[in-house]
């Protein structure tokens, strides 16, 4: 089966935001099993703390199916993890190229690889993008703010019988 190495051996270990320097050093990670289902929050938290970026090459399939805004992007930003993704549908609303992450065209593996290397080569820039993503999520996805906005919408709607 396929195996994924967490970091290129010649580059050394670069832990994700908030990770202990020794976490994940030299580990080989098997690809996620898509049939595993829900994971314990502790496992999810550990994964976010130990990654240096989220790479999500979204695309529109042959039937036109796509994610509007994948939740995992918002989760990554909430953990100050920068994102490399594609410029489709609602993704550019939160993955702001050069600010909170990097965007590439769908189905362009060369461009995707270059974006990954670009962030990998500049961990300070990646950390800055992760922090910007966290600020964006805190502002735009705050439940209290959303509740106030909804209350404002509903207060202007009259009930008709």
Q: What is the pLDDT of residues 56-85, one digit of tens each?
A: 998 887 887 777 778 889 999 999 999 999
pLDDT of residue 118: 96
pLDDT at 158: 59
The pLDDT tens digits for 31-49 are 555 556 788 888 888 888 8
Is residue 44 exposed (0-12), middle (13-18) or buried (19+ Cβ within 10 Å)?
middle
pTM of the model: 0.69
Residue 123 scores a pLDDT above 50: yes
Distance CA 135, CA 108 (A): 29
Choice between 11 and 116, residue whose per-residue pLDDT is larger = 116
Handedness of CA 30, 87, 81, 76 (dihedral sign): negative
């Amino acid at each position: 089966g396929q195996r994924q190495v967490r970091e290129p051996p010649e580059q050394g270990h670069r832990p994700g935001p908030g990770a202990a320097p020794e976490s994940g050093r030299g580990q080989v990670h098997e690809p996620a099993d898509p049939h595993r289902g829900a994971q314990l929050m502790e496992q999810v938290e550990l994964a976010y703390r130990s990654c240096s970026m989220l790479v999500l090459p979204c695309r529109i399939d042959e039937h036109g199916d796509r994610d509007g805004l994948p939740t995992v992007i918002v989760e990554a930003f909430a953990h100050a993890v920068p994102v490399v993704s594609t410029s489709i549908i609602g993704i550019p609303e939160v993955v702001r190229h050069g600010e909170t992450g990097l965007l590439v065209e769908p189905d362009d593996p060369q461009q995707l690889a270059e974006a990954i290397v670009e962030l990998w080569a500049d961990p300070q820039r990646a950390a800055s993008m992760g922090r910007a993503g966290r600020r964006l999520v805190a502002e735009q996805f705050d439940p209290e703010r959303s509740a106030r906005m909804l209350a404002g919408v509903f207060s202007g709607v009259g009930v008709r019988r």
